[in-house]
Structure 1
Amino acid sequence: MPDTELRHVFTVAAPPVAVVAHLAEPANYVGLSPLVVQVRDVAREGELTRYTAVERFRFFGFLRHDNPIVVTLRTTGSAAVHGDVVSPGGVRMGYRFDLEPDGGSTRVTDTLRLHTPPGLLRFAASRARAVQLARAGILAERLG
Structure 2
Amino acid sequence: MPTDHLHHSFHVAATAEEIYAHLAEPQNYVGLSPLLVAVRDVRPGRDEQGREALSYVGVERFRFGPVKWDNRLRVTLTPVAPGRQLRSAVVSPGAVRLVATVDLTPDGDSTLVTESVELRTPTVLRRFALGQATAVQQSRAAELTRRMERRPRSA
> What is the TM-score with the length of structure 1 in the denominator?
0.96
Aligned residue for 1:81? 86
Q: Which amino acid aligns with 2:10?
A: F
Question: Which residue type is aligned with residue 12 of structure 1?
Answer: V
For the residues of structure 1 that align with 2:114 and 2:33, how far apart are their CA atoms?
16
Displacement of 1:44: 2.0
Residue number among 104, 114, 120 corresponding to 2:119 in the alignment:
114
Match of 1:15 in 2: 15
Specify every segment of 5 or more residues in structure 2 that has no aligned partner in the other structure, as ranges. Answer: 46-50, 150-155
Shift of 1:78: 1.1
Whether 1:64 and 2:68 are equivalent positions in the alignment is: yes
SS in 1 for 2:137: helix
CA distance in 1, matches of 2:76, 2:89: 5
Query: Which of the residues 92, 100, 108 maps onto 2:97?
Result: 92
CA distance in 2, matches of 1:32, 1:42: 17
The normalised TM-score by structure 2 is 0.89
Partner of 1:52: 57
Once the two structures are superposed, what CA deviation does each residue of 1:41-77 show, in whole Å capped at 9, x if it has no partner?
A: 0002484110000000112x22211000000001121
Which residue is 1:143 aligned to? Answer: 148
Q: Structure 1 stretches of 5 or more lacking a match?
A: none
1:12-51 superposed matches below 5 A: 12-45=12-45, 47-51=52-56
**Residues paired across the two proteins, number:** 143
Aligned amino acid, residue 125 of structure 2: L
Q: How much is the aligned-residue C-alpha RMSD, in angstroms?
A: 1.1
The 2-side partners of 1:17 and 1:105 are apart by 11
